[in-house]
Structure 1
C-alpha cells in the first residue's frame, strides 16, 4: 500500500508541474492575442489609406483600367496563380493548421506556406509547396515576416511567372474563427474607395509609375493585415486549447488528490490496526524450573 501511495503522489506532483506549464502557455497566448488585436486597427487604417491613395492615383491615368495586374505571365506557360497560406509556427493549436490547409483545396495553384506546422502537414499529405517561411512567433516579428513574403513575391513577379495572387488566413471571431480567402493580384480597382469628389492630388511622379508603386504598397499592406489576423487567430486557438487542457488537468489532479488521501488514510488505518493487535496480544508465560 505504501508503494502505491508513493506512486500516486509522484504522479500527482508530475501533473501539478504540467498544470504550471499549461498556465504559462495560456497566459502567453492570451498576451500575444491581445497584442495582435491592439495592432490590427492601425494596420487596417494603414491599408485603408493606401487603398484610397491608389484609387485616386488610378484616376490620374488617361484610361483607368478596371484591374491592375502587377505583372502578367510572359506567355511561356510557366505563369502561375500563387496562394499564400498563413498557418501556425508552433503546435498546441488544435485543428488550426489542418483547417487552413484543407481550405486551400485543389484550386490553390502554386502553394506557398508561412508557418512550420502547415509545412509539416503538407509534407505528410504529399502536397507540393513552392516556397515556405517561418511564421512570426511574436507581434514585433510579424512585419519582418511580411517583408520576407513581399520580397519573394517581387522576385517572382520580376521573372514574369506570376498570373495572380491570393492569400488564405484565419481571422478571430466566434467559436474557432473564420477562414478568409482574398485575391490580391490583379487588384480590383473598382472596389477601392478613392473619394472621387475630392480635388485631384498633386504628384511628382508620372501617373503610371505612381500607380505601380502604390500597388506594391497596397500589396504589402494587405499581406501585413492577413499575417497579423492569422497571428491573432493562431494564439486565440492556442488559448482555447490551453483552457481546455487546464480543465482536464484540474479534473485529473482532483482524482489523484482524492486517491492520495484515500491511500494515506488506508495506510494510517492499517498501522493503527497493527498497533492495536499488538497491544492486545497476550504476553508469553515464563517457563517454570524443571
Structure 2
C-alpha cells in the first residue's frame, strides 16, 4: 500500500525526470535547426561544385573508363544511424532499408562491404546477419562532421581501389516535415555518366563560359573529391537532423506520459493526505468524546 512519504518520493522522481526530458527536448530542437542550416548551406556549395564541373566538362577528354562490373558484383554500403538511443525507429528503419536493398541485388556474402556510422547501427546490421567491416562514431555536433568525413573518404578510397568495388552506396535518413523522415539511398561511386552528360549539355547561366589554366585531370579530380565530400557531409547532416527529429518526438511522447503519471501521483497524494487529515480529526473527536463521557 502506498504511503504519503513513498508518494512524495515518486512525485519528486517524476518531476526530476520531467525536467531532464524537457532539457533533452530543447536540445533536440536546437540540434535539428543546426543540421538543417548545414544542409541548406551544403546545397549552395553543391551548386557551386556543379557549376565548376559543368565548365570543366565542356573540355572533357574522352578516356577509357573503369571496366564494367564483373559477374560477381562487389558493393560497398555506408549506413548512417546513431550511437545513442531514444530516437524511435531510426536505426531499425535505415537498417531494414539497407538489408532489403542489398538483398534485392542478389549479392554473394563476400560481395558486401559495410561501413556503419553509429554503434547501434552496427549492432542492428549484425543482428540481421550482415558483416560490418568498419564502424565510425557519430559526431556530436556539426563541427565534428568534417574530420569524420575526411576519415571516411580515406577508407572509401581504400575500398574502391584495393577491394575493387563496383559501386559504393550511401544509406541515410532524410528529414521530412515535423518529426518524420524516410530512408534515402545515394550512389556515390562510380560517378553517374548520365548526370555528367546532363551537366555538360546544360546551358551556362551567363553568355561567357569560364576558362581555366590548370591541367584538366587534376582540376576534374579536385572537383570530384569536393563532390564526394559534400555528399558524405550532407548524408551525415541529414541523418543527424532525422535522429534529433525522432528524439524530439520520443521526448514529446515521454513528456506527455510523465505529466499523466505525475497527475495521477499528485491526485493519490492529495487523497491520502486528505484521508490522513480526516483520520486525525476523527481521532481528536473520538478522544474528546471519550474524555467528556469520562468526566460525566
- Normalising by the residue count of structure 2, what TM-score does the alignment of the two structures yield? 0.86
Range that drifts further, 50-59 or 82-91:
50-59
Residue deviations 1:130-178, cap 9 Å, x none?
Answer: 2110011212112222112112112223425221111111111135212
1:133-282 matched pairs, under 5 angstroms: 133-159=136-162, 161-174=164-177, 176-192=180-196, 193-194=199-200, 195-197=202-204, 199-282=208-291
Q: Which moved more, 1:215-224 or 1:264-273?
A: 215-224
TM-superposed deviation, 1:7: 1.1
Instruction: Identify the residue that residue 63 of structure 1 maps to in structure 2.
Output: 62
Q: 1:232 to 1:119 in 2, by over 3 A?
A: same
Q: 1:23 to 1:145 in 2, by over 3 A?
A: same
Q: CA deviation at 1:78?
A: 8.7
**RMSD (Å), alpha carbons:** 2.5
Matched, 1:46 2:49: no
Map residues 100-139 of structure 1 onto 2, 5 A cutoff. Answer: 100-108=94-102, 109-139=112-142
3-state SS of paired residue (1:132): strand
Structure 2 gap segments, 5+ residues each? 103-111
Task: Indicate the structure with greater helix content.
Answer: 2
1:12 maps onto 2:11 in alignment: yes
Aligned ranges for residues 64-103 of structure 1 at < 5 Å? 80-103=74-97
Hey, what's the Cα distance between the residues in 2 that align with 1:62 and 1:122?
42
CA positional deviation for 1:80: 2.4
Q: TM-score, structure 1 length as denominator?
A: 0.87
Structure 1 residues not aligned, in runs of 5+: none
Q: Which of the two has higher C-alpha Rg?
A: 1
